[in-house]
């Protein structure tokens, strides 16, 4: 069994998404991944709040690179995320999507600054019936 994997995935701890995330990741050619779950997904990479959380996420990325040869990081924020106050935080889905686009852009910049050699991919997870869509943002 190979001891390398395709990506490091940072996603929210929300139980509704863990099992459903693997199928859409496969469609992105990510068949194996280290999974780090924190409330809000990339929230504390984007924010200046709780720098210790950000540092711990960076530490996990470092470990994933060292142990599993990871060259790609996937940052996943999701629809109706309680860490951001849930759907009621935004007046509509478009506003929510735009907000997360900004969050993920900021988070991506932080990861890229810390790890210039890594490819960083950002997606927004949205339920579609029983399945989950990962929209590139």
CB 128 to Zn ion: min, Å: 17
Q: Which residue is nearest to Zn ion (CB)?
A: 12
CB 47 to Zn ion: min, Å: 14
Residues that bind Zn ion (CB under 5 A): 12, 14, 81, 83
CB 24 to Zn ion: min, Å: 16
**Between 12 and 111, whose beta carbon lies closer to Zn ion?**
12
In this structure, what DSSP letter does residue 29 have? T
CA distance 59 to 64: 9
**Between 84 and 115, whose beta carbon lies closer to Zn ion?**
84
Which residues are CB-neighbours of 126 under 8 A, at least 6 positions away?
78, 79, 132, 133, 135
- Contact criterion met (CB below 8 Å) for 76 and 123: yes
């Amino acid at each position: 069994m190979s001891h390398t994997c395709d990506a490091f995935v940072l996603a929210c701890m929300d139980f509704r998404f863990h099992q459903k995330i693997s199928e859409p990741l496969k469609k992105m050619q990510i068949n194996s991944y280290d999974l780090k779950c924190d409330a809000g997904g990339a929230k504390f990479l984007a924010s200046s709040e709780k720098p210790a959380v950000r540092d711990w996420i960076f530490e996990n990325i470092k470990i994933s690179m060292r142990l599993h040869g990871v060259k790609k990081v996937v940052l996943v924020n999701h629809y109706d995320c309680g860490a951001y106050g849930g759907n009621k935080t935004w007046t509509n889905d478009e506003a929510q999507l735009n907000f997360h686009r900004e969050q993920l852009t900021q988070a991506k910049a932080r990861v890229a600054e810390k790890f210039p050699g890594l490819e960083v991919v950002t997606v927004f997870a949205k339920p579609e019936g029983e399945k989950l869509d990962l929209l590139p943002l």
